[in-house]
Each structure stands twice: as C-alpha cells, then as structure tokens.
Amino acid sequence: MIRRSARLVAALAVGGLIIAACGDDDDDASNDTSAITDAPAATDAPEATDASDATAATETSSPTESVATPDTDAPETTAGGGDGAGWTVDTEDCVDPDRANAPIEGTVNIGSSMPLSGGAAAAAFAPVAQGLQAYIDYANENDLLPGHEIALTIGDDQYSDSLTPGVVNSELDNGAHLFSGMIGTQNNLAVRGLLNDECVPQILALTGAPEWGDVAEYPWTSGALIPYDKEGAAYAQNMAAEFPGGGTIGLFYVNSEFGQVYMDGFEPLATESGFEIVDTQTIELSDDGLPTAQVSSLAGNAPDVIMAVPLGAQCPRFLSELAKAKAENPGWDPRVYITNTCSSSLILAVAGAAADGIYTSASGGISDVGNPETVAASEALTSYIDYMASKGFSDGAVTAAQGWTVGEVTVEILRQAAESPEGLTQASIINASRNLDFVPSLVREGVEYRMAGEEDAYYAEDIQVIQYDAAAAIFNDIGTLNTSFRSS
C-alpha cells in the first residue's frame, strides 16, 4: 500500500507540473496498456515529434530467417558493482530498497509508452515499436538472456504527456521491472520523478533532451539519442568546414525549449566560425499552417546557409515552402541543414523532391537501412532486413531500425546485469546501463554506445552528417564520423 500511494502522489505532482506535450493532446483518450499486436498503417505525415519516428508493437509469429547474433564480445562491465568497479546506484532512498535489489526470476517484464492511436503520430511511430518488439521476439527465440523470458508491453499514450503516467502506473501494477524506448521528451519527463522515486529503470528514452544527463538527480533515467545541443554543434562544425571563410546564416526553428536547445548548441560555434546570422524566424509548436511568411523573409535575406529546426509535419511543409522560394529566386541555393528529427523516410517522402539535397545526421548512428548497397555490404543489415521480412514488416524496416537497436541495447544491458555478482535486479539493470560499452549491430562503422556513470551520461554521441538523395530515397555520408563529442 505504501508503494502504490507513493506512486499516486508522484504521478499527480508530475501531472500538475507538466501540462503540454510536444504533439497534439487528447485528454479524453483511453489508455491501452495491453501488449500490442497490430500496428497502425504508416500513411500520414507525423505531427510534432521530437524522437525518432515510430510506434506500436507487433505480431509474434515465428520467424523463418535468422539474424546476426548481437556482438556479445563487446567490453563488459560489472553491472552490480559488488566489487567496487564502475558506477553504482544508491538504493537507500528508494520507496522499497528491498524490491530494487530483489532477484528477477523467470519473466523479465519491459514496459514502454508510445502513441499507438490518435492519428498521424501513431502512424509515424508504428515502425519503431515494430522494430522493438521484433528484437525482443528475436532475443527470446535465440535465448539471448539465458534462464529468462522477456515480455514487452507497449501502452498507448497518444503522444500526450497527460496520459503517460496512467500508462506507466498500469504497467507497474502489472509487474514491469523496467521501461525502455519510451517516446517523447515531455512524455518521459512526465514519469521521470515517479520512476526514480520507485527506483525502476527508465532507460533508452527516445529523445535527445539534455535532461537525461542529470545522473545525480535522476540516476534511474537515461536517453538513447544524441543530445540535441550536440547535434546542433555538429552542424555548425560541418558548416565551418564547408565555408572556411564564414558566411551568412538564416535560422528557422520551433519556438519551444526543443528548438532553443538546438540553438544553444549551434549558434555559439557558428558565430565563432565567422558566420553572421542575418535572419531568425520561428514557428509555434502548435502551428500547422505553411510557414510562408517566415520562408519569404529568409529568402529576402538570401543567406548562404539555413539551419532549420521544425517538428513533425512542420518539416515537409517548411521544405516545400523553401523549394518554392528557391524557384522564385534564381541563383539562391542555400545549403540547408535540418535536424534528424525530420529525417525519417516517412517525413521526407511527404516532402518529395523538396527534400533533395538537405543535410542532416544519422539518428543514433544507425546505418541507412534503406540503401541497397549499404545493406548488401553488411551481413548484419542483410540479416535484419530478412528477419523483418519474416515478420511482415518490410515496408517499415528503415524506421524500425531505431526500435530494433533500442531492443538490442536493452537485452545487452539485461545480459550484463544478469552476469553481475548481484544477478539480475532492478539495481543491477541501471548499473549495467550506466557502465555499458557496446556496439549495436546496425550502427555505422566506428559508432560506439558508451556510458560511464556521471562522467559520461549519454550513449550516442557520435555524429555522421548525411545528405538526402530524394530520387534514390537514400542518404549519403558527408565527411567522416564526428567523434569529438564523446565524453569518455
């Protein structure tokens, strides 16, 4: 009873402080916390999203193809820290310290919360959930966590942070030992306090918010994506290399904390490199109209470079308006950078030819699964494509790679925790998570997922700038992998 009442108090407190999600909210929507077996068709352009695209879970049909076994020879760490090695979590302040340190036997229950209904957001997120469920299926079929079965439940929060606490509480009541791959900054923030009070691991949040680096205050929460400010800084570095003498820049970004974080990382480096910001245009988070006036202003100042930070459906709308402006201003062809939150194949397909030539980055360092040449050259990518085909998910395999990678890293964390002196516990799971050094199977060569307690609080810090080829619907790498943002 103490545990339940503590969660209710935490949920109510968080719900009162965080009232707006990044996307459209529907507070009257119902919560579905059962295991999902059918994903919505990905047909609509996504609404405002700040993670990689996708959601829903999948069918559990037996595969007919095998996939390359994840690299279990990656450097290992002592998950539980019983011998003093590595970072360890303090469970003394937990609502129930004994539960945090109790052995997890039999089935390991993983919870998650994503938009499974509610329109365009659900359609956009469907493949990520498919990929996550597919990897959990694969792990069970290949006994990657010996002595344990892994169960995944993805609840529906419709991308509304007001619904996320209800989803998470229901999954906790149903025995969730940890949460992984939850989508959305505000959605994860809505339950961060609750899960830290309960000492339940909240790992691999699908958002690049810098907040996930606050290990001292929220040790049980970590992110999966490159921090947005570091991504912005990487674009500034790339611009400096392409324009060694400097140049002019036009800014277009969503008027929210999300947009400002990118600017915080981008602007200082850009100005230090000799660039002059000649125009700054913003768009409100809830604005679903065409940014005609903003783009017209940018065109009037004719900058050499445009740095764009729209969200969701704003991404193709911005690109379409920009294409019109370039056509109306012969000779003006700026180098356009746009955040990797816009780089999903679903979003860029809506933009069509207007997206051709844009520069962005590879989310999580994952390889371009949509490039046939890249896939043919990699046994791991080929096996992944075959496995997804066996599940009936070929159409969403490109976007699903993000969910697959989250699943792979989650299972590796569980494996290392189980091999720690403490065995598999909630405490050893978060310890393994914060002491991980691992190379997922689908990432680009040279990319590492590494975390080291408070010294290095982010997994993904390697950034590959890429350019989109709309005709071929593929990305081409620009320059080499940027590893300068690694914390350790």
Query: Which pLDDT value is given to residue 5?
Result: 36
For residue 118, name the pLDDT band (cuts at 50, 70, 90): confident
Share of the chain above pLDDT 70, in %: 82
* Token pair 């390359």: residue: 68
Is the pLDDT at 6 greater than 50? The verdict is no
Query: Residue 1's pLDDT band (boundaries 50, 70, 90)?
Result: very low
Yes or no: say if 443 and 408 are a contact pair by the CB < 8 Å rule. Answer: no
Segment 142-153 shows an average pLDDT of 98
Average pLDDT, stretch 210-216? 96
pLDDT score at 85: 61
Phi, psi angle pair for 269, to nearest 5° = -70, -35
Summarize the confidence of residues 289-305 as an average pLDDT.
98
Whole-structure pTM value? 0.83
Question: Per-residue pLDDT tens for 308-353?
Answer: 999 888 999 999 999 999 999 999 999 999 999 898 877 898 999 9
pLDDT (mean) for 54-61: 32
Average pLDDT over residues 39-45: 35
Q: What is the pLDDT of residue 125?
A: 83
In this predicted model, what pLDDT tens digit does every residue of 263-283 receive, in sequence order? 999 999 999 999 999 999 999
Which of 57-66, 419-428, 458-467 is predicted with the least confidence, judged by mean pLDDT?
57-66
- Please give the average per-residue pLDDT across 164-171, as a whole number: 98
pLDDT band with cut points at 50, 70 and 90 for residue 381 = very high
Q: What is the pLDDT of residue 338?
A: 98
pLDDT at residue 121 above 80? Answer: no
**Separation of alpha carbons 399 and 114, rounded Å:** 15
Confidence tier at 58 by pLDDT (50, 70, 90): very low
Average pLDDT, the chain: 85
C-beta neighbour count of 82 within 10 angstroms: 14
Name residue, tokens 């800014």: 251
| pLDDT (0 to 100) of residue 124 | 78
Residue 189 near residue 214 (C-beta atoms within 8 A)? no
Nearest one of 165, 139, 160, 159 to 150, comparing CA atoms = 139
- Report d(CA 1, CA 101) in Å as an integer: 19
